[in-house]
Structure 1
Amino acid sequence: MINRRGSAEEEDSAEVEVLLSRLSKTKLLTAKIQASLTRLETSAGNVQEAIRPIYGNTQRLQQLGTNIDRTLEAIENIRKPLDITSSEESIIRAGPQKAGLSEFLASVKRTNAALSELKSTNLRSSQDAVAKLTTLLKAGVQQLEFVFRETLIEDSRPVEPLHYVTKELPFPTIPQEKVSRLALINSSVAVSLIHLEPGDSSGGIPPTARLFSEIRGTYVARTLQNLAAASVNTTKKKTPDALYRQGTNGIGMYASGMEGLFLAEYENACQLFPREHWGPVYGSTARSALTEFSKTLRELNAHIKANVTTDCFLAYEIIDIVSSLSFRLVEKTGELKDEFQDALKPIRETAKNSLGELMEDTRRRISNMATIPLDGAAVPITPETMTRLQTMAAYISPLTTIMVALGDGNWFANGVSSNQRNSAKGFDVGADGRQLLAHYCSDTIDALMQSLENKARPILKGKSLLGVFIANNVGVVESMIRSSDLQPIMTSNWIARVDTWRKKGISLYLDAWKDPSSYLLDVTYTNRAGQRPPSGSNAPVNSAEIVKGLSSRDKDALKEKFKSFNASFEELISKHKQLAMEPQIKGQLAREVQALIEPLYGRFWDRYREVDKKGKYVRYDKGQLAAILAGLG
């Protein structure tokens, strides 16, 4: 037992010694490895210190190489534009005719590109090259402008406008093949402006666009020259006092020619130039023609002002034509609205003033009349005044706008119309122009009739003659309203105004008939039986019984009344037949007289005819008197 235990301990002790021996060797090996690592770190540090200068030099060499490459590339880029100067100069100096337009435009394009590259380098050494290329580009642009001008002139000779206006043909535009060429030239010149005119204040409008406006503007103005002259020449009349007749002036043809030409030039501008240049180019092209147009309108306005009472209608026509022309052009182009409005201003003012002038002319002419017809006939100024108003009906459109701008009643010098309408408000955009025109016509009629009455009252003796005179002139007024386009304009307004004057004339005329009617008013004796039937009675009047109950004095008085009536009645019948009356007035006055006299005479005759059985005093029975009265019409 003891021996086996000892053997086991010995084995364990041997294993421990082996393990200790191995541990000792491991420590030794670890120490050696640690020493090696230390030596390796030291060597690596030495290597890094040795390599660092070499790495820095390599990086600098690489950057230097990159810079050299870039410098060489920049030098190459600089040399390219410099080389272009000689290669493009031969083409540009040769010109588009020899080199060909396409090649010439390509050369100008390359020159522009070269200038852009040179200017981007901003090197002092390239300034000479920039100057040479700029000079070369300028020469190229000048030659392009020359080609542009010559090409444009080929189709810019004045044409006969009446050929196109009368046949309703569109005015010629630039041929399409030339449009393409001109558009390319304009585009090339526009691009070149960046280098040639960097501080240009024209809004980027190239010289070619200005050339277009100049050449085509001259073409338009010269084409319209004869129409402008014709518009002025056609104002001359054989009869100075004749009213202007619509359409007899050349302004209509002038406007039509202008419209056709302006639309053609707007189409040309749209095809040749970029969108932002359409309006300015079109406006510049039209400027010369518009200047001449404004001058023509001023000449026409001077003529109208000198003959306002006869030729104010030309002013209305011009406003109508030019306003419509402006509206159509603005609708299609969006341009020239203000220019046309400015051109129209003088004539528009003359047209406004003409309304008051016409009214004052009516008053003035009546005041200056030497006399009034002693037979009560209507005077010529009445149909003349109404003819003016009838003529106005042909210019509804311009006159309604004028009326709205003028304001109700402002055609009077004091701004107040005859029926005291409030005109203080002036311009009212919501006003009804047709209604204002109706007011003007009514005021003109009032001014006419009032002036005629004032003139006739001291000349025509007796109210009856004055009444016939007023009625006759009213009859002319009414007839001319009903037979013309004035009636729908004036609507019911004129009826009341005219009716007032008609009633006044009738009332004055009937004033003379009060004398014979006064003899037919008898005295009823109520204390005598059988003299008067009860009120409302339909019983026949017994003249014999009534006369029988009268005294001799009463009978003599009745005979005298019949005698006086006969004398007065026959005198008025004779005067009535001597008076000059309009047909409708003659019948109307006859009916009024009949309505006044016949009932009175019939009653008087029924009651007192038996006072004179021999017919010495009672000259007419009811039927005879009615026939005479009916014959007055």
Structure 2
Amino acid sequence: MVGPRNAAFAEESAEVEVLLASLTKTKDLTKRIASSLTRLDSSGKIVREAIGPIYSNTQQLQITSRNIDRVNEAIERLRQPLDTRGQEETIIRAGPKPGSFPQYLSALKRVDKALGDLTSTNLRVNESRINDFHSLLTLGVNQLHDLYRSTLQQDAQTIEPLHYITKSLPFPTIPQDRIQLLGQIAAAIASASAQSAKLGQRDEDLAVKMYAEVRGDYLNKSLQNLATASVSTVKVKKDDNKIYKQGDSGISAYAQGLEGMILAEHENTSRIFRSGNDSPRVLTQTCATTIATFSRTMTDLNRHTKSRLLTDCFLTYEILELITPLSYRIESTTNALRPQISDALRPIATPHRASLAEVITQTRSTAESTPSLPPDGSPVAFVNATAQRIQSFCTFDRPVLTLLSSLGDGGWRSTSNLSADNNPATKSSLSLELTPSTENPTLLSHYLLDLIQNLLDPLVARSTALHRNNKPLAGIFQQNCIALLSRAINTHPDAARYLAITPHSTKLESYRKAASSLYLAAWREPSQHLMDTISTKTNSRNSGALDSTSIIKSLSSKDKDKIKDQFKAFNASFEELVARHKSMYMEKEVKGAMAREVSAVIEPLYARFWDRYHEVDKGKGKSVRYGKGDVSAVLAGL
């Protein structure tokens, strides 16, 4: 066993010796590599020290080269505008011609660009050149001004708006070919104005100014006739007591013309001035004169309506109803002009809040100052005028409700609520944007009931005092007044909506009942003569009618004479009242109602009295002048 073990150890020992020999060689190689690296590092330092200055000089040369290229480019850019002047001056001085207008406009744009490039260099050496270019650009722009104005004037002939309104035709606009030309010219003028501003020279936007001048004059002159007619149609009415009705003035046509022409002009400005908010700004400037004329027209109409408040205040309500929604429609389309239109309306909207109270005050004052009443009981003309006034309030219910809503229920009775100084709402225009949540129709019902009360109370007091000894005449007069008011309400759908419904309808009914009672009081006298105060011994136990013969036989001579006297007294009183009734004027409704009420009082009493005592004169007709049918016929003829 010893022999194999020694052989294994000998083999391992040999391998160890080989590994040790390899390690020794590796150490020697590492030392040589380290020595080589040291020598390489020393050589690198020598190279860096030698090449460093050369690399630095090369970088500086590259920077210098780039700077030279940039200077050359700048010189080229500076030279280009200078070359442009010679190239474009001939075109610009020749002026814009129909066949060569695109080239002319292009030349102006190139000059404009060249001027911008020169200005951006900010070099003093270029100042004279900048002035030359600016003069050339100014010359070109002045020529464009002439072309611009002449092009605008081609479509600035005054038109008659009523022709387009009555025939439902669209208002004319500038043709598309001229729109395109005007847009190009306006842009060129605006660009030149910008260059002038950069040079410190104040230059207004002449394109907008000229457009507003030419087109504004066209709008104002075209609408002038309608503005004049709006005032003249109101002032020249033949009957000063006539209540204003919707459409009596030319304000509706004026409003349609104003809206139509403004919207047509908006179409022009939106196609010519397309940048930013130019179109609303230009439209506002263009319509300035037209809106000023509109404002003066509103002031004239306001002055007129204030002098004739009872008859013409409704013109104000029509204006508010027409113009306020119009201003919102224009704003929604053009994004302009509503503040200007609202300002024009303010002088007419604000004071007419107070007109609501003033109408009631003047109504009461006129009723109280009525000097005399018609002798036949017919109503005074002022009652019919007030009835028409009530209808007019209901016709213009929307603007009136707006005014009433700003005052609150009953606010028209307090002068403090009507003061513009005490109510900030009056300092701005009134909006007609009533919604179901804010609209309160009861306000108008209450206002109209106040108006009726302030008319009837003085007239009732006046008639009672003047006809103190003739109460039936006073009753009929009051009934006639009430009938006119009731008819005006019931025959007018809008008025019926506010006053012919419960509980508002009970107001007039209470006045009617009081007047009816006053008239029927006179008929108590003949009805008193039909009261039976005589006791008879004969009673009819049969199911048939009373036997007048038997009753008369049962009476004493004294009782018979008393019955005869009652018949005679009834005849005299009845005939007098019938004659008086027929001598009085009664409206159709009053005549029928009074005939029915008188019949209801007299007929049953007379029929009963006649049935019992008509045999008292044995058919001779001396005392019993009327049969039952005769009385019924007379009463039916009332």
Cα distance in 1, alignment partners of residues 31 and 396 from structure 2: 127
User: Which residue matches 1:112?
Assistant: 112
Deviation at 1:405, TM superposition (A): 4.1
Q: 1:154 to 1:558 in 2, by over 3 A?
A: closer
1:230 maps to amino acid: A
Cα distance in 2, alignment partners of residues 495 and 31 from structure 1: 129
Moved more, 50-59 or 211-220: 50-59
Moved more, 277-286 or 209-218: 209-218
* 1:198-249 Cα deviation digits (max 9, x unpaired): 49999x9843122211211111112222322233332312333334454343
Moved more, 170-179 or 615-624: 615-624
1:231 paired with 2:230, answer yes
Cα distance in 1, alignment partners of residues 63 and 192 from structure 2: 39
Moved more, 172-181 or 360-369: 360-369
User: Which residue matches 1:571?
Assistant: 576
1:86-97 map, 5 Å: 86-97=86-97
User: Which residue matches 1:60?
Assistant: 60
1:147-162 map, 5 Å: 147-162=147-162
User: Which residue matches 2:3?
Assistant: none
User: Which residue matches 1:456?
Assistant: 463
Q: 1:300 to 1:41 in 2, by over 3 A?
A: closer
Q: 1:57 to 1:384 in 2, by over 3 A?
A: closer
Q: 1:413 to 1:48 in 2, by over 3 A?
A: closer
Match of 1:627 among 623, 629, 632: 632
User: Which residue matches 1:293?
Assistant: 294
Cα distance in 2, alignment partners of residues 495 and 339 from structure 1: 43
User: Which residue matches 2:262?
Assistant: 262
Q: 1:566 to 1:42 in 2, by over 3 A?
A: closer
* 1:81-140 Cα deviation digits (max 9, x unpaired): 343344444444443349943223222322333344344444444444444434443443
1:340-379 map, 5 Å: 340-349=341-350, 351-379=352-380
User: Which residue matches 1:221?
Assistant: 220
2:483 maps to amino acid: G
Deviation at 1:253, TM superposition (A): 2.9
Match of 2:523 among 513, 521, 531: 513
User: Which residue matches 1:210?
Assistant: 209
* Native 8 Å contact 1:182 1:272 kept in 2: yes
Deviation at 1:558, TM superposition (A): 4.8
Q: 1:76 to 1:600 in 2, by over 3 A?
A: same
Match of 1:479 among 466, 487, 506: 487
User: Which residue matches 1:12?
Assistant: none
User: Which residue matches 2:317?
Assistant: 316
Q: 1:194 to 1:414 in 2, by over 3 A?
A: closer
Deviation at 1:35, TM superposition (A): 9.0
Cα distance in 1, alignment partners of residues 518 and 325 from structure 2: 50
Q: 1:27 to 1:156 in 2, by over 3 A?
A: closer
* Native 8 Å contact 2:141 2:189 kept in 1: yes
Deviation at 1:156, TM superposition (A): 1.9
Deviation at 1:354, TM superposition (A): 4.0
1:303 paired with 2:304, answer yes
Provide TM-score, normalisation by structure 1.
0.81
Cα distance in 1, alignment partners of residues 440 and 144 from structure 2: 56
What's the RMSD between the two structures over aligned residues?
Answer: 4.1
SS in 2 for 1:457: helix
Cα distance in 1, alignment partners of residues 382 and 489 from structure 2: 15
Cα distance in 2, alignment partners of residues 446 and 201 from structure 1: 72
User: Which residue matches 2:507?
Assistant: 497
Q: Could you list the runs of 5+ residues in structure 2 that have no partner in the other structure?
A: 1-25, 418-424
* Native 8 Å contact 2:183 2:273 kept in 1: yes
User: Which residue matches 1:79?
Assistant: 79
Cα distance in 2, alignment partners of residues 71 and 218 from structure 1: 55
Q: 1:163 to 1:600 in 2, by over 3 A?
A: closer
Provide TM-score, normalisation by structure 2.
0.80
Cα distance in 2, alignment partners of residues 370 and 296 from structure 1: 38
2:458 maps to amino acid: S
Moved more, 368-377 or 274-283: 368-377
* Native 8 Å contact 2:490 2:500 kept in 1: no
Q: 1:325 to 1:36 in 2, by over 3 A?
A: closer
1:515 maps to amino acid: E
* 1:171-207 Cα deviation digits (max 9, x unpaired): 32222222112211222333344432249999x9843
User: Which residue matches 1:240?
Assistant: 240
User: Which residue matches 2:598?
Assistant: 593
Q: 1:201 to 1:584 in 2, by over 3 A?
A: farther
1:196 maps to amino acid: S
Cα distance in 2, alignment partners of residues 38 and 325 from structure 1: 98
User: Which residue matches 1:10?
Assistant: none
SS in 2 for 1:384: helix
Moved more, 310-319 or 297-306: 310-319
User: Which residue matches 1:253?
Assistant: 253
Deviation at 1:507, TM superposition (A): 0.5
SS in 2 for 1:619: coil
Cα distance in 2, alignment partners of residues 570 and 36 from structure 1: 162
SS in 1 for 2:277: helix
Q: 1:149 to 1:463 in 2, by over 3 A?
A: same
Deviation at 1:288, TM superposition (A): 0.7
The structure having more radius of gyration, on CA atoms, is 1
Cα distance in 2, alignment partners of residues 508 and 70 from structure 1: 113
Cα distance in 2, alignment partners of residues 122 and 180 from structure 1: 36
**Identity of matched residues, %:** 39
User: Which residue matches 2:587?
Assistant: 582
SS in 1 for 2:96: helix
Deviation at 1:32, TM superposition (A): 11
